[in-house]
Amino acid sequence: MIAAAPMQTLDRFGPDASGPAPSREESLAYVRALTKGRKENFSVLSRLVPERLRDDFAAVYAFCRWADDLGDETGSDDAARSRSLELLAWWRAETARCFAGEPACHPVFIALRETAERHALPQQPFDDLVSAFEQDQRVTRYETWAQLLDYCERSANPVGHLVLRLAGERPESEGGAHGSDATFAMSDDVCSALQLINFWQDVRRDLVERDRVYMPSEETGVSAETLRGWMERPNDPEARVPYIKALRPLVQKTRAMFEGAKGLPQRLSDPALRPVVWLFGAGGMAITREVEKAGCATLWNRPTVSTARQVGLVGRAWMRSKLQRGGGA
């Protein structure tokens, strides 16, 4: 089964849909297909994820994918942003209905309800994600690094919290083991860094396709108008040098966040998920290295991790999973 992109199925699953609700089996098949059909740098449903958790990962991913597309795929003009806010309000209401135990008609929420009940997932991380996508419709410029981290706190960190909860981790305030708050804090660093390196990788795409600039203006002195001017002068040192000087410190800060959280996988009490979490961080570091190798000139060329490199990282994660099963480190 291949699941169509969310925006292509609004007539069937959107706010005005009137058909019968899919069954549990159909809903699970849908979230599995949606997850496997997305071309990400590293598949979230690789065979590294324990089979007992694959449907749970798929349900969480499908929620994020729908929310992300509702926020990003309507366009970038005022009418499109207004439409996104309407759709996200509907998605937020459906989330509340799901956690209130009301009947669901959307396959994502039919699948997610089981996952939420099985792992005692709170509603807040899901609401935070929707909040971040709503912010994308209202805020397209950032002045400070702190403002950017506040955005990451809602756009990225909740995903890490959900993964940790699927792994059986809990904050200390909920009876988690001593030191579990540090585990969640390290997860926040990894997830925020993943969000940030995606920004630095996609400066041009965000500007051209969505009129968004995430480079904080107070730290970089960069504006959208400046970037557009530089973008048209790919071979001009007077454009390349100041852009690279503006971006490089942001990339260095992001690298430091990845490096500071290298110990996160070994903190997990469930050894089976340590290779999965390791792969998220290793994938982010791989993108960081590609940005650095490209001289931080991402306004003109978007660095990517090669297929061979991706396969190599997945292979290393697979070996780690084998060692975990065998009682190794």
Residues 119 and 182 in one domain: no
DSSP-based three-state secondary structure for 213: strand
Q: Do the domain assignments include residue 329?
A: yes
Do residues 149 and 118 both lie within one domain?
no
> What does the pLDDT average to over 57-70?
96
Question: Does residue 316 form part of some domain?
Answer: yes
Considering the domain architecture, whether residues 130 and 145 belong to the same structural domain is answered as: no
Indicate whether 67 belongs to any domain. Answer: yes
| 187 & 323 share domain | yes
Residue 316: is its pLDDT beyond 90? no
Task: Kindly report, residue by residue over 263-289, the tens digit of the pLDDT.
Answer: 999 999 999 999 999 999 999 999 999
Q: Is the pLDDT of residue 215 over 70?
A: yes
**Does 309 or 59 have the greater pLDDT score?**
59
Specify the 3-state DSSP secondary structure of 158.
Answer: helix
Q: Are residues 191 and 125 in the same domain?
A: no
Residues 42 and 119 in one domain: yes
Distance between CA atoms of 246 and 122, rounded to whole angstroms?
39
Residues 123 and 167 in one domain: no
* Longest alpha-carbon distance in the chain: 60
Residue 8 in any domain: the answer is no
The whole-number pLDDT of residue 105 equals 93
Q: pLDDT band at 42, cuts 50/70/90?
A: very low
Task: In whole angstroms, give the CA distance from residue 124 to residue 49.
Answer: 24
Q: Are residues 209 and 90 in the same domain?
A: no
pLDDT at 320: 79
| Greater model confidence, 206 or 316 | 206
The more confident residue out of 245 and 18 is 245
Examine the domain organization and report whether 182 and 303 are in the same domain.
yes
Cα gap 50→67, rounded to integer Å = 25
Pair (34, 95) in one structural domain? yes
Q: Is residue 10 part of a domain?
A: no
pLDDT tens-digit map of 133-145: 999 999 999 999 9
Shared-domain flag, residues 177 and 232? yes
Q: Is residue 14 part of a domain?
A: no
Summarised one tens digit per residue, pLDDT across range 143-201 is 999 999 999 999 999 999 999 999 999 999 999 999 999 999 999 999 999 999 999 99
122 pLDDT more than 60: yes
In this predicted structure, the answer to whether residue 57 has a pLDDT above a threshold of 70 is: yes
- In the listed set 91, 119, 137, which residue is the last one of a domain according to the structure? 137
**pLDDT at 230 exceeding the cut of 50:** yes
Mark which of 73, 102, 137 sits at the end of a domain.
137
Average pLDDT of the residues in 57-77: 93
Residue 47 is predicted with a pLDDT of 75
Check residue 267 and give its pLDDT.
Answer: 95
Judged against a pLDDT cut of 80, whether residue 328 lies above it is answered with no
Single residue among 89, 115, 137 that ends a domain in this structure? 137
Give the whole-number percent of the chain exceeding pLDDT 90: 82
Closest CA relative to residue 314, chosen from 286, 289, 290, 292? 286
One domain, residues 155 and 274: yes
- Cα distance between residue 154 and residue 268, in whole Å: 22
Domain presence at residue 112: yes
The length of the chain is: 329
Q: Is the pLDDT of residue 37 over 60?
A: yes
**Cα radius of gyration (the chain):** 20
Q: Mean pLDDT in the chain?
A: 92
Which domain covers residue 34, as residue numbers? 22-137
**pLDDT per position as a tens digit, 82-100:** 999 999 999 999 999 999 9
Work out the pLDDT band at 329, boundaries 50, 70, 90.
Answer: very low
Q: Tell me which residue has tokens 């309407």.
A: 86
Percent of the chain with pLDDT over 70: 94
How far apart CA 62 and CA 33 sit, in angstroms, is 9
The pLDDT, as a whole number, for residue 279 is 92
Type and span of the H or E element at 127: helix 124-138
Q: What's the CATH number where 289 sits? A: 1.10.600.10
Work out how many domains the chain is built from and give that number.
2
Question: Residue 297 falls within a domain, yes or no?
Answer: yes
